[in-house]
Structure 1
Amino acid sequence: MILCVTGPMAAGKNVAASILEKKGFAAIDADVLGHRAVKECTEQILCEFSDEAQKRGVSLLSSDGTLNRRVLGSIVFESRELLARQERIVYPVIRRLLAEFIRENAGKDIAVNATVLYKLPDMQNIIERILYIDAPLPLRFIRAMKRDKTGIIQICRRFSSQKNLFAKYKNTNTDIRRVWNTGTRQSLERKIEKFLSECRQGI
């Protein structure tokens, strides 16, 4: 079984993926692949966004000479056009890395933890089911503030970039189950166990 674990920011995708991993799934975090892709594409990203950084009086490079992902994020999440420009650079690399992971784990249950897998149709085609983790907006906002320690404006921009995410996944025509993560890890684990049981029964 190949699952896509998805949902909006701070809903609990990482917790859900760790629960699946505990149950024997080979789990991969698309954010980790994204970081690898950004590192691999550093020169291209610097070329693409250096003018944008200069306009804002910031540097895309950290003091150690590496790409500052936090600064890059503050730029690309300002608008859909800027985000799309970054995606055109890094998505082909993410697609390759994800395909490699799936090949390496052939025959195993696989969980792909990814917010925007719907933007990779060729990858979405191999996903059998979607586990959509959700939580109320105020709760997600509190979690994001505690976890990421970033400004309110940046969090709001990221939330805005994921608008209508559930509808976008429904449009993939892949079987999708929405699971609400409003309580404890144990509560979420019970819901995921029920989801897996229904999947294996073909429900």
Structure 2
Amino acid sequence: MTAPDRPFILGLTGSIAMGKSTVAAMFADCGVPVFDADAEVRAMQSPGGELLPAIEAAFPGSTGPDGLDRAMLGSIVFADKDALARLEAIVHPAVAKRREAFLADHSEAPIVLFDIPLLFEKTGEDTVDAVVVVSAPEDIQRKRALAREGMTAEKFEGILASQLPDAAKRARADHVIDTGTTLAETQKAVEDLVDKLSEDLRD
């Protein structure tokens, strides 16, 4: 149950190329405020972003006039767990602070959505009231991923290996949205879920 002084929090997650961003936009179209964790991080790492000084201190040369040099920093932390932990110690508290501000700004909304790519891997279900997982057949996922600019089969497999398998995510989900269908069908599934949750909250 949600606390009486805040909205019901849905956590949205899913593996790479499962259509999470598309589904998040569908929730927004239904009037559900969406907190996009990745977008917040990008904003804080852009030119003038609040995280740049701390990241530069921890990883000299990784920032500049254009903000964070993602390729350089990625090459450092991708294969170094200690370096990744140092980066996360900088980023995660800042994201949490923005998330709290988002909740305060939308305190009157019945439902809000937290778009969290690594919800199971990093954040944890205890930060939300229910979890929605977006999922599609493996062949569709692979096709979508490899169509992305800069994506290779090797990189795709590496990302998959770092994420909880799709089947495990679906098993732990409270709700699953199938994105292997048409956009209209996926939109209908999102609308039906928002209607059901809204009705449940009114009871």
The interval holding the TM-score normalised by the smaller chain is 0.7 to 0.9
Measured at CA, do residues 168 and 137 of structure 1 come closer, stay the same or move farther in structure 2, by a change above 3 Å? closer
Q: How does 1:34-45 map to 2 (within 5 A)?
A: 34-38=41-45, 39-45=49-55
Counterpart residue identity of residue 36, structure 1: A
TM-score (norm 1): 0.77
The aligned residue for residue 55 of structure 1 is none
| Contact residue 7 and residue 133 of structure 1 kept, 8 A | yes
The number of residue pairs the alignment matches comes to: 189
Partner of 1:199: 197
Structure 1 29/75 Cα, relative in aligned 2: closer, same or farther at 3 Å?
same
1:141 aligns with 142
CA distance in 2: counterparts of 1:30 and 1:165, whole angstroms: 20
The aligned residue for residue 110 of structure 1 is 112
Give yes or no for the alignment of 1:32 onto 2:39: yes
Q: Which moved more, 1:81-90 or 1:21-30?
A: 81-90
AA in 2 matched with 1:14: S
Question: In the TM superposition, what whole-angstrom CA distance separates every residue of 1:7-46 from its partner, at most 9, and x where no partner exists?
Answer: 1111111111111111111112110112234442223223
Q: Aligned equivalents of 2:161 and 2:83: distance in 1?
A: 14
The 1-side partners of 2:158 and 2:87 are apart by 16
Q: 1:150 to 1:47 in 2, by over 3 A?
A: farther
Displacement over 6 Å in runs of 4+: 168-171
User: Which digits, 9 at most, give the CA deviation of each residue in 1:148-202, with x for residues without a partner?
Assistant: 433443333222221347647966xxx6212221122112112222323443454
**In 2, Cα distance between the equivalents of 1:40 and 1:165?**
34
Distance 1:12 1:170, change over 3 A: same
**Structure 2 residue runs without a partner (length 5+):** 1-7
Change in Cα spacing, 1:107 to 1:37, as seen in structure 2 (3 Å) is same
Q: Give the aligned CA root-mean-square deviation in angstroms.
A: 2.8
CA contact (8 A) 1:78 1:157 kept: no
Q: Taking structure 1 as reference, are residues 72 and 135 closer, same or farther at Cα in structure 2, changes over 3 Å only? A: farther
In structure 1, the gaps of 5 or more residues are 51-58
- Percentage of matched positions with identical amino acids: 23
